[in-house]
Structure 1
């Protein structure tokens, strides 16, 4: 849809002449070019891919084209170090949520040239995965502060109150009673939420929680760490210095292994590996995608099953052509923008993440336009562990984000599209 709009602006209404698309690395490298080449009505568009070494990027940016594609990590370089004039009159940010930190280099760099851009478009399926505070930086880029204010302090004072604090130091903020509705109203004129299921004939989505049970001995090890912050496993001492470290260690342990101070992992149980084996066998030869979080998950899964990581363009192509029976992805590297729906319709969460954004974006790799089969998303949950807290938190966070998306939902009839 974005490419069709760009085509119209370039060649029908002549409102823009040079477009920059900013996206996650693999999305810029694989997804956008394949979409341009896929649709016949876009064959008029010339694009240049500014990815690779400094020399390759400079050559691509100096090549005459309608659209320039660059990964978000190189925005600071493009604006502050490339030596090139920033003369793009339209910018599209794929995964606007990756600019939600007003302290990041990419945000500050883009804000330097924002006044030069006539049209700024942000695309994301997870605009407020960590709450309403995420929205300020995203909309500061879109409208230069017109709706939610030019300064983060102003935004905080207007819509939030201090929540967790230690004396004068505030660690988190809580929205005021009126904030949610007021913010949605402020941004509604430039924000459109369109869900695939509202406009497309999407397949059925089934989510499932597969519960595994630790043995008495395994549970004793887990509970000792949880209560004492230290436990001895196979003559190795595992400790957690604070709550964040404890949360991480407990998640590892629920998954089946835990790292010691030398960064070596110690196996605790195989419950999730056994469950994964059952799910793979139950797929009866159909391809399955497995999402993992820890490196020891990857190693243990590889040791037990014939699997392939989806890391390169070739891996993604082979997956979508049905040449991989068990594919492995990490949410941080495959959570945004990749089209994996052609290769399978089953996703298994071997270990979970606290990040709603990465969780939802990873699910959207297979549950998206072009998927023709019922999508099944399995979650392997260790009973009585932090896994249960994570899945509950993800469901709770999703409620808040769903309210935002519903508030700015496009009120269109299908015939209007």
Structure 2
């Protein structure tokens, strides 16, 4: 994240003349485990090197208002979730079985099951496990009345189930969708963080976002919020608070993701802490 922008400032004088050199000097990279951890003292060294050419600006705007909404998984869905979490295997009904080959894959399955559905094979077939999170979203929308709302989803089955439950919703795909949202023509806008995270101006259409799905990628989350964030609201002449709802299944990986985001933990630390706490 730092090397690219800095290279255009000093052409590699401070952080190295290639991204590989930057990684080799300050990070331990494991290509097999897909991990990249800073070496001891790396943060201090990089901060010192950048101190003479970098400034940090604190924006004088209110922060988004975080509104966590918790619910308990239904009994059967809870049993299926615990089975996946503990054994990397779960039986959904009489004829559907879901298996994860690794702990990381099980974590992804658990994230899906917290939402209410899970992929059952590598062909993206899926099965529904509960609708409790959809019910919570309905309550949020009822509470907000006629206020326009953005809903962030992650998995394909999330999108399918959301469209089935809320057929009046629109998915953000085109410039026309963006214009219609900003013009007040879309009461419920579905967005995917990977496609709606950068370069879009959505602040004129509303100031409420609901995260139906959680994601370990904190940058995606921050960028999506920024599309309607406080700075953009103020710049566009909208003196109104930004509301960020998170629909969270209690005692699931949903809470791990939130902990990682708000406490800046690594994925591994958040998962280990949550598992230890539940035991």
- TM-score higher than 0.5: yes
Q: Deviations over 1:259-279 (max 9, x none)?
A: 111422100011110000000
What secondary structure does 2:264 align onto? Answer: helix
2:54 aligned residue:
191
Whether the aligned pair in 2 keeps the contact of 1:252 and 1:294 (CA below 8 Å) is yes
1:294 aligned residue:
155
Task: Report the alpha carbon displacement of residue 194 of structure 1 after superposing the two structures with TM.
Answer: 2.9
Residue from 222, 237, 245 that aligns with 2:105 = 245
2:270 aligned residue:
none
Unaligned runs of 5+ in 2: 267-279
Task: Report the alpha carbon displacement of residue 150 of structure 1 after superposing the two structures with TM.
Answer: 1.7
User: 1:214-233 residue pairs with structure 2 within 5 A?
Assistant: 214-233=73-92
Distance 1:346 1:159, change over 3 A: same
User: 1:229-378 residue pairs with structure 2 within 5 A?
Assistant: 229-234=88-93, 235-261=95-121, 262-305=123-166, 306-367=168-229, 368-369=231-232, 370=236, 371-378=238-245
Task: Report the alpha carbon displacement of residue 163 of structure 1 after superposing the two structures with TM.
Answer: 8.0
User: 1:3-402 residue pairs with structure 2 within 5 A?
Assistant: 134-152=1-19, 154-156=21-23, 158-160=25-27, 162=28, 171-177=35-41, 179-195=42-58, 197-198=59-60, 202-203=61-62, 205-234=64-93, 235-261=95-121, 262-305=123-166, 306-367=168-229, 368-369=231-232, 370=236, 371-397=238-264
Whether the aligned pair in 1 keeps the contact of 2:69 and 2:246 (CA below 8 Å) is yes
1:37 aligned residue:
none
Task: Report the alpha carbon displacement of residue 228 of structure 1 after superposing the two structures with TM.
Answer: 1.4
1:17 aligned residue:
none
What secondary structure does 1:388 align onto? Answer: helix
Separation in 1, partners of 2:108, 2:265: 22
Q: Deviations over 1:359-385 (max 9, x none)?
A: 100010111322421111000011011
Whether the aligned pair in 2 keeps the contact of 1:289 and 1:348 (CA below 8 Å) is yes
1:23 aligned residue:
none
Moved more, 180-189 or 325-334: 180-189
Task: Report the alpha carbon displacement of residue 247 of structure 1 after superposing the two structures with TM.
Answer: 1.5
Greater RCO (CA < 8 Å, at least 6 residues apart): 2
RMSD (Å), alpha carbons: 2.4
Distance 1:260 1:193, change over 3 A: same
Distance 1:138 1:203, change over 3 A: closer
Q: Deviations over 1:4-25 (max 9, x none)?
A: xxxxxxxxxxxxxxxxxxxxxx
1:7 aligned residue:
none
Unaligned runs of 5+ in 1: 1-133, 400-417
Task: Report the alpha carbon displacement of residue 329 of structure 1 after superposing the two structures with TM.
Answer: 0.5
Whether the aligned pair in 1 keeps the contact of 2:214 and 2:254 (CA below 8 Å) is yes
Task: Report the alpha carbon displacement of residue 218 of structure 1 after superposing the two structures with TM.
Answer: 1.1
Distance 1:144 1:280, change over 3 A: same
